[in-house]
Structure 1
Amino acid sequence: MNKPEVPDFFKNVRVVLARPSHPGNIGSAARAMKTMGLTRLYLVEPREFPSPEADTLASGAVDVLQRAQVVATLGEALDGVTLAAALTSRRRELTAPLSTPREAVPELIMRARSGEEVALVFGNETFGLSIEEVEQCNRLVTVAGNPDYFSLNLAMAVQVMSYELFSQGGIGVGHLKAEAQLATHQEVEGLCGHLDQTMERIGYYRGRNGERLIRRMRTLFHRASVQREEVDILRGFFKQVLRTADRDEDKPA
């Protein structure tokens, strides 16, 4: 199966990091983004950028860092955006409805597919997004977690949201599955004949209804949709069993 392409509408999704403190988190966030097909990164007043540490933790996603837009305000980062989702884990006195990533993503995808610019907005590692920053967004999203201990790193939050977008973006995992050839009817019949010969040769049918047994085995193999490789393995095994039986018979008593 051919490798699928990342949907074009992903180009309408930008990730905004507001006032990130640690360059390593910027690099890790870039890696999380690219893994899920997102490439547009906006940085609002990063404390340190560019940075060798960011490049190191970005691994193969340094190109995302190289194309990152560095701006002075969140307003600049949201220029042209019609739907901005603020990621927060704190209780806020806001009237905007609160959604999980899974609940929020369908609308984000629908708007991006239609050609609109959408943004995922993440706050500072220590303080998160300010009330003023959240008020510039029109959706509020939180990642559900353990109420007794919830400590999600900035890059982890980017990964969770990016994964949810990717998983609902219509890209399956079929290209990762090994392509297997199913055995034909004739090949399965040949396998059953070989099995019948082997069981007869080693005396398995002695005291048993051989015709009934091989009929049950034939039904089993046809129902199982066995692969050609599996047929070859089993027939190789039967061949070895028959060789061993012949050698044992030839041994002097």
Structure 2
Amino acid sequence: MLNNIRIVLVNPSHPGNIGAVARAMKTMGLEHLYLVNPKSFPHVNATALAAGADDILERATIITSLKDALVGSEIVFGTSARLRALQLPTLDPKAAAKFIINEAKVNKISIVFGRENNGLSNEELELCNHQLYIPTNPNFSSLNIAAAVQLIAYEIKMADQIETTITTPTIDLASTEAIQSFYQHLQQTLITTKFLNLKNQNGLMAKLKRLFNRAQLEKTEINILRGILTSINTKNEND
């Protein structure tokens, strides 16, 4: 199950933090690290702070966009130290860990951590279908990224040691790339039918994405929805 979990860091600016994250991951049995546009990596400071987790750094996948980093994932958690008004299912680390371990039996899961200075943007969180909220001191909510990874990785490790099934894991969830392709199809269709226009398309599409993200669409459901869109487009072309 742990092998189905990847840790994704978006634009990490301090190589030492990358090393500390690798160490945090290895101590809890997590192996898959993805780095989206790291400012400086590989770096001697990353190796130094990995403190023996060099293998995690050596296998790390460096990639240019968060969208590409999520390819192959069925479930994506975006982490935040503050609650966002994004209407995503929101779990604290302990509840999220139980959910993740259960779903990781059959699904690939990505846990996304934002920049050290300002976290994830709302646009990046729109690529997620869950929000992982870390409760902190409201007067000082800044949490070091390695500490955040360590906290969540610990809860995942603890959940993995409890052999109780919460619910049956969801089988055949649509992949992130299939969902993003559906969103493009949906947007183009809604523009063609004039439901969307330049003034409202960004806001409405954001709300529609949140709606479908909450639904955790399965592969067959994506196929049905895309079939409906294709039918609409064909009808418009024939009129």
TM interval, short-chain normalised: 0.5 to 0.7
Q: Quick check: 1:127 aligned with 2:145?
A: no
Cross-structure match for 1:34: 26
Cross-structure match for 1:159: 150
- Structure 2 residue corresponding to 1:52, chosen from 44, 47, 69: 44
The alpha carbon displacement at 1:171 in A equals 6.9
The percent identity for this pair of structures is 45
The alpha carbon displacement at 1:89 in A equals 1.4
CA distance, structure 2, for counterparts of residue 28 and residue 171 of structure 1: 27
- Structure 1 residue corresponding to 2:68, chosen from 62, 72, 76: 76
The alpha carbon displacement at 1:151 in A equals 2.3
CA distance, structure 2, for counterparts of residue 124 and residue 144 of structure 1: 18
**2:78/2:128 contact within 8 Å kept:** yes
Cross-structure match for 1:11: 3
CA distance, structure 1, for counterparts of residue 27 and residue 8 of structure 2: 17
What are the within-5 Å matches in structure 2 for residues 52-131 of structure 1? 52-114=44-106, 116-131=107-122
- Of 137-146 and 52-61, deviating more is 137-146
Secondary structure at the aligned position of 1:113 is classed as coil
The alpha carbon displacement at 1:143 in A equals 1.1
- Structure 1 residue corresponding to 2:13, chosen from 1, 9, 21: 21
CA distance, structure 2, for counterparts of residue 152 and residue 87 of structure 1: 11
CA distance, structure 2, for counterparts of residue 70 and residue 119 of structure 1: 15
Runs of 4+ in 1 over 3 A off after TM superposition: none
Matched positions, count: 163
Cross-structure match for 2:167: none
Given the superposition, is the C-alpha separation of residues 148 and 170 from structure 1 closer, same or farther in structure 2, using an over 3 Å criterion?
same
TM-score between both structures, scaled by the size of structure 2: 0.66
Given the superposition, is the C-alpha separation of residues 11 and 83 from structure 1 closer, same or farther in structure 2, using an over 3 Å criterion?
same
TM-score between both structures, scaled by the size of structure 1: 0.63
CA distance, structure 1, for counterparts of residue 26 and residue 162 of structure 2: 15
Residue segments in structure 2 that go unaligned for 5+ positions in a row: 164-239
The alpha carbon displacement at 1:105 in A equals 1.5
